[in-house]
Amino acid sequence: MQAVRHVVCALSGGVDSAVAALLLRRRGYQVTGVFMKNWDSLDEHGVCTADKDCEDAYRVCQILDIPFHQVSYVKEYWNDVFSDFLNEYEKGRTPNPDIVCNKHIKFSCFFHYAVDNLGADAIATGHYARTSLEDEEVFEQKLVKKPEGLFRNRFEVRNAVKLLQAADSFKDQTFFLSQVSQDALRRTIFPLGGLTKEFVKKIAAENRLHHVLQKKESMGMCFIGKRNFEHFLLQYLQPRPGHFISIEDNKVLGTHKGWFLYTLGQRANIGGLREPWYVVEKDSVKGDVFVAPRTDHPALYRDLLRTSRVHWIAEEPPAALVRDKMMECHFRFRHQMALVRCVLQGGRVPGQREDPAAGAVCLHTPEGPAQSWDGH
């Protein structure tokens, strides 16, 4: 007789992860719920709702009659996510801490805790996403040995697990999972991948999970909460006052507290001006932010962008890119942004040979300009 599969499900205290755990129970698995505390709310005077979320996650486990565990990754989050967040802003780039958190915390720290400490056959989360594996194939992955050795044959045939979009295209969260490792993806189940948000709410309502159903959906970064983003960032980074300058005639339109506070393409709130202006360029030496009127201004658009080192979900670049040094695909740089057709071209990193697996790539948009992106 086959042993009951053990799945450790990350619980956030919200409706999605609660329903994910419920569905795993319905599939007959032994389910354990784990709440991760990633930010110390005491440092921010209780603004973050971690304690309340933990209580809600524990109550979910009580209702589902499954074991509950709480783990703290406050130190890891600070070192691997928040420090990176501040460093990127200092360099003038706009990071996405949710992507970095999934990479280093949920699908690394939590993944290893679930497998090594709790003996999980697989982990699960409430993300709206899918993979190319069925549940039974996920459970078989612990028997698949990772290729040994520092160097691997580029043309070795391996069945990489694919990250697939969710059935609910509006709720699809694969953008936030784009840096997850192949090892973690192989051992992960996404119970909500084939469901819509409305159906998930219906399941929660029918299964006594009203306490999470009534909660407002969490938006943004937990460590900021409801505070003003600029004020929050300037608690950690030194202000660097500068000017807003019109890209059209170099006229000074106003002042700001730091060029690093602004993202290319975003609306710049310039005091005293009624009409909206949008960020085009940033001068890190002088501290000036160049802006343009109207969202359709030509200065706001680019048809080429260059990235740094690429994270391939399958660990290796697509065969077409290796063979032809270019390939057609789609890209987005923001959650829920419409996918844009582009041509991906293998680039060169200074000091390295040209190699799509290790180097940078360039994205060309053949059907017209793509909105400018402060990418990396």
Q: Are residues 153 and 53 in the same domain?
A: yes
Specify the CATH number for the domain of residue 44: 3.40.50.620
Q: Are residues 275 and 326 in the same domain?
A: no
* Catalytic (active site) residue 54: no
- What does the pLDDT read at residue 365? 63
Here the tokens at position 134 are 């069925």
Name the pTM for this structure.
0.86
Residue 227: inside a domain:
no
- Tally of structural domains, the chain: 3
CA 376 to CA 374: how far, in whole Å?
A: 7
Which of 214, 247, 266 delimits the end of a domain? Answer: 214
- What does the pLDDT read at residue 50? 82
Q: Are residues 154 and 26 in the same domain?
A: yes
Q: Are residues 93 and 194 in the same domain?
A: yes
- What does the pLDDT read at residue 48? 54
- Taken as a whole, the chain contains a residue count of 376
Specify the CATH number for the domain of residue 268: 2.30.30.280
Per DSSP, what are the bridge partners of residue 279? 291
Q: Are 355 and 285 in contact (CB under 8 A)?
A: no
- What does the pLDDT read at residue 306? 82
Q: Are residues 267 and 352 in the same domain?
A: no
The active-site residue, picked from 9, 109, 222, 342, is: 222
Q: Are residues 185 and 243 in the same domain?
A: no
Which of 249, 269, 298 delimits the end of a domain? Answer: 298
* Nearest by Cα to 307 from 355, 346, 263, 354: 346
* Catalytic (active site) residue 48: no
Residue 161: inside a domain:
yes
- What does the pLDDT read at residue 352? 43
The active-site residue, picked from 101, 109, 342, 362, is: 101
Q: Which domain holds residue 327?
A: 303-371
Query: In 3-state terms, what secondary structure has residue 158?
Result: coil
Mean pLDDT in order along the chain per 10 residues (376 residues)? 88 96 97 93 56 93 97 95 94 92 96 97 97 93 60 58 94 95 96 97 96 79 70 92 95 95 92 91 95 93 83 88 89 87 70 47 54 34
What's the Cα-to-Cα distance from 65 to each of 33, 58, 69, 83, 164, rounded to whole Å?
Answer: 10, 10, 13, 38, 31
Residue 233: inside a domain:
no
Q: Are residues 99 and 153 in the same domain?
A: yes
Residue 221: inside a domain:
no
CA 324 to CA 314: how far, in whole Å?
A: 18
Residue 232: inside a domain:
no
